[in-house]
């Protein structure tokens, strides 16, 4: 049989319907999506935390978002219908078009792509999730997976920062995370970003992290945020005594194809979409500063 008949078109997305959405901030929205076609839903292989998808607004284009809800695993404990959530900020052509869509409308999804956080390898360890701004979206799947089976992990600290109180995401669900035994949520906003009734910290994420005084022994740090935040966070982590292989992050480079072909997301020999996006700080140190 000719090869082309047996090879699926990697670029043709699956159609998904917007079931619900939550407005996290004035410019950040979380979508809840379900497959339009029952057969495609049944064939869906699920994903692991840290993987991402390409989301299509027909006529506008594609954008990459992290798969942000607890991982859907084919044999996992979940409802029959796979649901995908993604959180995006309205910044460009595609995300503006996506923001203008309403419940019931259809978009495209292809994925999951990339590697994932080694959540099973973290069993028994203390975890510190550090998310800056919308960087929380890339961590949420792993956080929810860990919280859902908290007994398998040590203390979980979630450190969430944003420029201002209005820019904090997932604020509605955070109290519920807090209630799980052994989960601590610390929130901070940049100086000047606080409101009168703000009861969290005020300060930049790396400084707040240092103040927490979390002993590196037996802990893993999982961080995601803008490049400038990561730069200073790594300095703080080094100061507190964390070694580079204890720190995991997820790279965000411009991507188009998602399958390592279009050449856009290379960092030296490392294709972020194919070989990443999840990397340890130790692995990052081996790559050229090209991200």
Partner 1 sequence: MDASWKLTEAQLREWLQGLLEKYDVVAPAEEDGVVLFSRITSEDEAIVEPSGKTRWSPKEFLFPRTEALYHYTFGSGKVQLEDPSLPERPQVLFGVRSCDASGLVRLDEIFLSGTTDRLYAARRENTTVVTTACAAADPECFCTAVGGSPVGEEGSDVQLVPLVEGWLLRVLTDTGRDLVGEAKGDWSAATAKDVKRLPALEKKVSKEIERSPVNKEWSKVLEEGFEHGVWNRLSHQCLGCSICAYVCPSCSCFDMNHNGNAWSGAQNRSWDACTFPLFTLHASGHNPRTTGHERYRQRVLHKFAFRGDEDEPFRCVGCGRCVALCPAGLDIVNTVAAAVDAIREEGADAAR
CB of 169 to partner 1, least distance (A): 15
Nearer to partner 1, 21 or 291 (CB): 291
Q: Is 262 in the site for partner 1 (CB under 8 A)?
A: yes
Q: Is 253 in the site for partner 1 (CB under 8 A)?
A: yes
- Residues with Cβ < 8 Å from 178, sequence gap 6 or more? 184, 185
Q: How many CA atoms lie within 13 A of 38 on its CB side?
A: 1
Nearer to partner 1, 10 or 218 (CB): 10
CB of 86 to partner 1, least distance (A): 14
Nearer to partner 1, 212 or 228 (CB): 228
Q: Is 261 in the site for partner 1 (CB under 8 A)?
A: yes
Residue from 126, 143, 115 nearest 221 by CA: 126
**Contact (CB, 8 A) for 248 and 87:** no
CB of 240 to partner 1, least distance (A): 27
- Residues with Cβ < 8 Å from 290, sequence gap 6 or more? 266, 267, 268
Distances (CA, A) of 51 to 37, 130, 166, 279: 22, 18, 27, 12
β-bridge mates for residue 186, sequence order: 159
Report the distance separating Cα 126 and Cα 115, nearest Å. 22
| Selected binder of partner 1 within 2, 79, 175, 192 (CB under 8 A) | 2
**Contact (CB, 8 A) for 144 and 239:** no
Considering only the stretches 26-34, 67-75, 171-179, 254-262, report the one whose residues sit in contact with partner 1 under the rule CB under 8 A: 254-262
Q: Is 63 in the site for partner 1 (CB under 8 A)?
A: yes
- Residues with Cβ < 8 Å from 35, sequence gap 6 or more? 14, 15, 16, 17, 41, 44, 81, 82
| Selected binder of partner 1 within 18, 260, 280, 283 (CB under 8 A) | 260
Q: Residue count at the site for partner 1 (CB under 8 A)?
A: 46
Report the distance separating Cα 73 and Cα 47, nearest Å. 6
| Selected binder of partner 1 within 74, 191, 218, 227 (CB under 8 A) | 227
Considering only the stretches 183-191, 203-211, 217-225, 266-274, report the one whose residues sit in contact with partner 1 under the rule CB under 8 A: 266-274
Q: Is 290 in the site for partner 1 (CB under 8 A)?
A: yes
**Contact (CB, 8 A) for 147 and 156:** yes
CB of 110 to partner 1, least distance (A): 10
Q: Is 266 in the site for partner 1 (CB under 8 A)?
A: yes
**Contact (CB, 8 A) for 14 and 37:** yes
Q: Is 92 in the site for partner 1 (CB under 8 A)?
A: yes
Q: Is 252 in the site for partner 1 (CB under 8 A)?
A: yes
Contact positions vs partner 1 (CB under 8 A): 2-4, 7-13, 15, 56-63, 91-92, 95, 106, 108, 226-227, 252-254, 256-257, 259-264, 266-269, 274, 288-291
């Amino acid at each position: 049989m000719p090869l082309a008949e047996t090879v699926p078109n990697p670029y043709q997305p699956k159609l998904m319907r917007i079931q619900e959405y939550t407005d996290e901030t004035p410019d950040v929205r979380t979508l809840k999506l379900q497959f339009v076609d029952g057969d495609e839903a049944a064939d869906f292989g699920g994903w692991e935390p840290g993987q991402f998808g390409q989301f299509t607004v027909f006529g506008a284009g594609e954008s990459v978002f992290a798969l942000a809800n607890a991982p859907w695993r084919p044999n996992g404990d979940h409802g029959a219908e796979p649901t995908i959530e993604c959180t995006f900020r309205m910044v460009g052509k595609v995300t503006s078009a996506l923001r203008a869509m309403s419940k019931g409308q259809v978009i495209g999804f292809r994925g999951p792509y990339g590697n994932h956080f080694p959540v099973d390898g973290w069993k028994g360890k203390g975890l510190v999730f550090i998310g800056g701004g919308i960087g929380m979206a890339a961590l949420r799947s792993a956080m929810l997976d860990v919280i859902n089976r908290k007994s398998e992990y040590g203390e979980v600290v979630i450190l969430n920062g944003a420029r201002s109180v209005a820019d904090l995401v997932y604020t509605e669900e955070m109290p519920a995370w807090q209630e799980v035994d052994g989960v601590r949520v610390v929130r901070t906003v940049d100086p000047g970003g606080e409101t009168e009734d703000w009861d969290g910290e005020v300060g930049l994420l790396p400084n707040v992290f240092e103040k927490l005084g979390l002993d590196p022994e037996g802990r893993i740090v999982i961080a995601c945020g803008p490049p400038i935040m990561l730069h200073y966070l790594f300095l703080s982590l080094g100061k507190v005594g964390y070694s580079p292989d204890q720190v995991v992050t997820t790279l965000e480079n411009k991507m188009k194809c998602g399958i390592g072909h279009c050449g856009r997301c290379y960092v030296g020999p490392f294709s972020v979409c194919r070989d990443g996006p999840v990397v340890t700080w130790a692995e990052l140190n081996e790559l050229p500063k090209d991200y």
